[in-house]
Amino acid sequence: MGERDVRGRRARAGTATVLALLLGAVLPACQSAPSSQDSDELAAPRAREQTGWDTRPASLAAVGDSITRGFDACSVLADCPEASWATGSDPGVRSLALRLLGERGAVERSWNHAVSGARAADLPAQVERAVQDRPELLTVMVGANDACRSSTRHMTKVADFRKSVEEAMEILRAELPRTQVYMASVPDLKRLWSEGRTSELGKQVWALGICRSMLSEPDAVDRKSVKRRAKVHKRVKAYNRVLAQVCAQDRLCRTDGGAVFDFRFTGTQLSPWDWFHPSRNGQAHIARIAYRAVTAKG
């Protein structure tokens, strides 16, 4: 999430001042997360449903963007893969890998190929790397950067988004026809704007260029600004429809049913450094959503 060049902006004038404020004014990112073990997360034997879906896959690879890399979850303007909802080792987050594989299994049999700043067009190359691991489950979360652009006219076209996702699935199926896929929906960027704009510090970080299509002029409520945000919101919903449609064409693919998009992130679930990416608490909620989808029967 955030634009491709977000790290390169560290050198911009004014960045040092903002970072100093961040480091001195926020609490550590080690915020409270959901309980380390959910009530629905009981040890269970592997069970392959009649549909062919295995509710206890023995290995996992993740592809996607900065959310899956845990960007800004632990420190400012940095990846924190240990806090990733998909493959992280942080017991406070309790990633999907930890829930499915346990501590040792998560280390030995999970791989994170996501890249901060990635868009759907980057997905095929990520999947090509992931198939080398031969995972039993592939997690996908992509689309935020396709909507988060310098302006709405630069957002990825829906047809191009679909083409990239379909190509990624074709690459996977050519190499691993039995690997299961979990596709998470794109978060509601408008919800993140609505929540994050309450933080003056967060808005200073947004001014560095994070998701300008949605976050520029965060306090503006004129007709042009409202229309701009509505256009981004509509595009994200279109991306989620594509993900659901592509997944529905594959019998070994499941989505979250729009649960991540529908999740009402609050301040505790957002990074204290940018008020946009998920915090460790937010990552834990995304992991819980994924676990329930992957282990659901039927």
Q: What is the pLDDT of residues 196-229, one digit of tens each?
A: 999 998 899 899 889 999 999 999 999 999 999 9
Q: Where are the domains of the chain?
A: 7-16+48-295
Average pLDDT over every residue of 270-274:
93
Query: In the numeric block, which tokens belong to residue 145?
Result: 């950067």
Strand residues in the chain grouped as ranges (E): 60-64, 110-112, 137-141, 180-183, 253-255
Q: CA–CA separation, 6 vs 143, rounded Å?
A: 16
Residue 7's pLDDT is what? 40
Lowest-confidence range among 37-51, 80-94, 130-144, 206-220? 37-51
Residue 51 has pLDDT above 60, yes or no: yes
Mapped onto helix, strand or coil, the DSSP state of residue 13 is coil
Q: What is the pLDDT of residues 176-197, one digit of tens each?
A: 999 999 999 999 999 999 999 9
Q: What is the pLDDT of residues 7-44, one digit of tens each?
A: 444 444 444 444 444 444 443 443 444 544 554 454 44
Residue 156's pLDDT is what? 99
Residue 202's pLDDT is what? 87
The architecture of the domain spanning 7-16+48-295 is 3-Layer(aba) Sandwich (3.40)
Q: Which residues of 36-66 are buried (b: 16+ CB within 10 A; e: fewer)?
A: eeeeebeeeeeeeeeeebbbbbebbbbbbbb
Within 10 Å of residue 296's Cβ, how many Cβ atoms? 13
Q: What's the half-sphere exposure (Cβ side, CA atoms, 13 Å) at 137?
A: 29
Residue 158 has pLDDT above 60, yes or no: yes
Q: What is the pLDDT of residues 225-258, one digit of tens each?
A: 999 999 999 999 999 999 999 999 999 999 999 9
